[in-house]
C-alpha cells in the first residue's frame, strides 16, 4: 500500500543516516556540547544571516513549543494563538501543563489576522479589569499553518510590528518551515523569518530527520540558563550528537531546502492529480499538505489502497482528509495514486 498519510511516515533522508553512521564511533561529549552541534549552529546562523542567533536542538514539536513558550513567558502571561493553532488543539494541553493559558484568536484558513491581533491587544489594555486576566505575553504563529497555508511577508511584517508595539515576542512554529520556504507561492525567506521573529523553530522531524527541531533565538534573547530549562522539561538528550549530526547534515550543501523543494514538487503533482480527478479541495494549500473533501463511502474504499489522514468531519456524509508528501515521496507513488483514485 502506498502512503500519503504524513511527512513523518518514513525514516531519515539517506544523507542523514550516512552521517550518523560515519560519526557513530567518535567519542563526543553529551548534552549538545559536541562539535556537530556547534557546526550545525554555525551553518544555521549563516543560512538565517543572523550571526547573533542562539540555537538549541530539541527532539519534537510539542516539546519545543512547550519549552520555548514556558521559558519566555512570565508567570502571569499567556500565549496568543489561532483557535486552530497546534498548541491550542493538538498538543494535549502541553502549554497549559506549564501553567500558561492559550489566548485564542479566530483563524482564517489557519492564520491569525494581524488586525484582529492588534484589536485584541488594544482591547486588553483598555479593559479596566485586565489585571484579573492572563496577560498576552507572546504571539504564536505556525508557518506553514496546520492547514498548510502561508503568511505573506507583509503579514509577518505587520504582526512583528504589532508585537514590538506591545513589547511581546513573536514566536514562529516552523515544524514544517522548509515546505513554507520552498513553496512557489511565498515571498518569505529564512532570513525574513529570522529578522521578523524573536524566536522560531526549524522543524527537522517532518523535513527528513529522524527527530529534531532547531530553536533559534534571534535577538540575543535566549532565556538565561535555557539548557537547564530544557533539562527540567525532560527535553535534553544525553546523546545530543543525534540532533547535532542531523542538523549539520540538513544544513550542509542545502539539503534542508533540497528535501523541501522535492516534497513541494511532489505536492504540486499530487494537487494536479486530485484536481484532475475532481476532488473538491477544503482550502487552497501552497505547501506539502493537501486537504480534500471525500464522501464517506469513497473514503472507506480508498483507505484500503492508500494511506491518508483523517482531518475533520465535514458533514454527516463527508470528511476532510489530508494527503501529504515528504522527502521520500516518489513519482512512482504518485502514478500509483493516480491509478487508484
Site residues for a second copy, 186-245, by CB under 8 A, read: 205-206, 210-211, 224-225, 227-229, 231-239, 241-242
Site residues for a second copy, 313-332, by CB under 8 A, read: 313, 328
185 interacts with a second copy by CB under 8 A: no
128 interacts with a second copy by CB under 8 A: yes
Residue with C-alpha cell 515544524?
175
Among 96, 258, 265, 338, contact with a second copy (rule: CB under 8 A): 96
Could you tell me which stretch among 12-20, 148-156, 189-197, 292-300 binds a second copy (CB under 8 A)?
A: 12-20
340 interacts with a second copy by CB under 8 A: no
With contact defined as beta carbons under 8 Å apart, do 260 and 176 qualify?
no
CA distance 316 to 201: 38
User: Quick one: 278 or 339, whose CB is closer to a second copy?
Assistant: 339
CB of 98 to a second copy, least distance (A): 8
Site residues for a second copy, 52-71, by CB under 8 A, read: 59-67, 70-71
CB of 82 to a second copy, least distance (A): 14
Could you tell me which stretch among 1-9, 110-118, 148-156, 274-282 binds a second copy (CB under 8 A)?
A: 1-9
x/- letters, 258..297, toward a second copy (CB under 8 A): ----------------------------------------
With contact defined as beta carbons under 8 Å apart, do 184 and 72 qualify?
no
299 interacts with a second copy by CB under 8 A: no
The strand ranges marked E within the chain are: 2-3, 54-58, 77-82, 102-105, 135-142, 170-173, 199-203, 213-217, 289-295, 306-307, 309-315, 318-324
123 interacts with a second copy by CB under 8 A: yes
| Sign of the dihedral through C-alpha 255, 256, 259, 261 | negative
90 interacts with a second copy by CB under 8 A: yes
Among 185, 283, 310, 335, contact with a second copy (rule: CB under 8 A): 310
CA–centroid distance for 125 within its chain: 30
92 interacts with a second copy by CB under 8 A: yes
145 interacts with a second copy by CB under 8 A: no
CB of 52 to a second copy, least distance (A): 22
User: Quick one: 238 or 317, whose CB is closer to a second copy?
Assistant: 238
With contact defined as beta carbons under 8 Å apart, do 40 and 251 qualify?
yes
Could you tell me which stretch among 37-45, 132-140, 141-149, 263-271 binds a second copy (CB under 8 A)?
A: 132-140
User: What secondary structure does DSSP assign to 162-188, as a single string?
Assistant: HHHHTT--EEEE-TTHHHHHT-TT---
Residue 47, C-beta contacts closer than 8 angstroms, at least 6 positions apart:
190, 251, 256
User: What secondary structure does DSSP assign to 68-124, as a single string?
Assistant: HHHHHS-TTEEEEEETT-HHHHSSTTHHHHTT-PEEEE--BTTBPPHHHHHHHHHHH
**Binding residues for a second copy, total number by CB under 8 A:** 85
Amino acid at each position: 500500500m502506498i502512503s500519503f498519510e504524513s511527512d513523518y511516515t518514513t525514516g531519515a533522508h539517506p544523507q542523514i543516516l550516512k552521517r550518523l553512521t560515519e560519526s557513530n564511533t567518535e567519542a563526543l561529549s553529551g548534552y549538545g556540547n559536541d562539535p556537530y552541534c556547534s557546526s550545525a549552529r554555525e551553518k544555521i546562523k549563516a543560512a538565517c544571516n543572523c550571526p547573533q542567533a542562539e540555537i538549541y536542538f530539541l527532539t519534537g514539536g510539542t516539546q519545543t513549543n512547550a519549552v520555548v513558550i514556558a521559558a519566555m513567558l512570565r508567570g502571569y502571561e499567556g500565549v496568543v494563538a489561532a483557535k486552530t493553532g497546534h498548541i491550542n488543539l493538538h498538543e494535549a494541553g502541553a502549554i497549559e501543563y506549564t501553567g500558561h493559558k492559550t489566548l485564542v484568536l479566530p483563524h482564517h484558513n489557519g492564520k491569525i489576522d494581524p488586525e484582529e491581533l492588534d484589536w485584541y491587544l488594544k482591547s486588553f489594555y483598555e479593559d479596566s479589569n485586565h489585571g484579573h486576566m492572563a496577560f498576552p505575553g507572546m504571539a504564536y504563529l505556525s508557518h506553514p499553518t496546520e492547514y498548510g497555508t502561508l503568511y505573506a511577508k507583509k503579514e509577518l511584517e505587520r504582526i512583528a510590528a504589532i508585537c514590538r508595539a506591545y513589547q511581546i515576542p513573536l514566536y514562529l512554529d516552523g515544524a514544517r518551515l522548509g515546505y513554507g520556504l520552498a513553496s512557489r507561492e511565498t515571498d518569505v525567506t529564512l532570513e525574513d523569518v529570522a529578522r521578523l521573529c524573536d524566536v522560531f523553530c526549524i522543524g527537522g522531524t517532518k523535513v527528513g530527520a529522524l527527530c529534531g527541531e532547531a530553536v533559534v533565538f534571534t535577538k540575543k534573547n535566549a532565556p538565561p540558563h535555557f539548557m537547564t530549562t530544557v533539562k527540567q522539561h525532560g527535553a535534553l538528550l544525553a546523546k545530543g550528537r543525534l540532533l547535532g549530526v542531523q542538523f549539520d547534515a540538513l544544513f550542509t550543501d542545502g539539503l534542508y531546502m533540497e528535501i523541501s523543494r522535492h516534497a513541494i514538487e511532489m505536492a504540486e503533482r499530487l494537487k494536479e492529480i486530485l484536481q484532475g480527478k475532481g476532488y473538491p479541495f477544503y482550502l487552497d494549500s501552497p505547501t506539502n499538505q493537501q486537504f480534500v473533501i471525500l464522501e464517506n463511502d469513497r473514503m472507506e474504499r480508498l483507505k484500503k489502497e492508500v494511506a491518508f489522514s483523517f482531518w475533520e468531519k465535514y458533514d454527516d456524509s463527508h470528511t476532510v482528509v489530508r494527503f501529504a508528501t515528504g522527502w521520500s515521496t516518489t513519482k512512482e507513488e504518485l502514478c500509483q495514486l493516480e491509478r487508484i483514485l
